[in-house]
Amino acid sequence: MRLRQVFYGAWALLLMVGLLGCGTEPVNQADLAAANESKVYRWKLITTWPKNLPGLGVAPERLADHLRKMSNGRLDIKVYGAGELVGAFEIFDAVSQGTAEMGHGAAYYWRGKIPAAQMFATVPFGMNAQEMNGWLHHGGGLELWRELYAPFNLVPFAAGNSGVQMAGWFNKEINSIADLNGLKMRIPGLGGEVLARAGGVPVSLPGSEVYTALQTGVIDATEWVGPYNDLALSLHTAAQYYYYPGWHEPGPTLEAFVNKDAWESLPADLQEMISVATRAINEDMLSEFTARNNSALVTLIEEHDVEVRALPQDVLERLKTLSDEVVAESMQGDELTKRIYKSYSDYFSAVKNYHDISEQAYLNARQGSDDGA
Q: What is the pLDDT of residues 30-63, one digit of tens each?
A: 544 555 678 999 999 999 999 999 999 999 999 9
User: How do beta strands 168-170 and 221-222 pair?
Assistant: antiparallel
Please list the pLDDT of the chain residue by residue as tens digits (373 residues).
443 443 334 433 333 334 334 444 454 555 445 556 789 999 999 999 999 999 999 999 999 999 999 999 999 999 999 999 999 999 999 999 999 999 999 999 999 999 999 999 999 999 999 999 999 999 999 999 999 999 999 999 999 999 999 999 999 999 999 999 999 999 999 999 999 999 999 999 999 999 999 999 999 999 999 999 999 999 999 999 999 999 999 999 999 999 999 999 999 999 999 999 999 999 999 999 999 999 999 999 999 999 999 999 999 999 999 999 999 998 998 999 999 999 999 999 999 999 999 999 999 999 986 665 5
Specify the CATH class of 40-160+252-289 in words.
alpha beta
Cβ contacts of 94 within 8 Å, gap of 6 or more = 46, 85, 86, 100, 103
Rounded distance between C-alpha atoms, residue 125 and residue 151, angstroms = 30
The identity of residue 114, as a single letter, is I
- Closest C-alpha among 252, 261, 67 to residue 152: 261
The sign of the CA dihedral 110, 116, 120, 122 is positive
Nearest to 240 by CA among 148, 309, 329, 179: 309
Cα 49–263–129 angle (5° rounding)? 45
Domain boundaries, the chain: 40-160+252-289
Q: How many CA atoms lie within 13 A of 333 on its CB side?
A: 17
pTM equals: 0.88
At 105-149, the pLDDT tens digits run 999 999 999 999 999 999 999 999 999 999 999 999 999 999 999
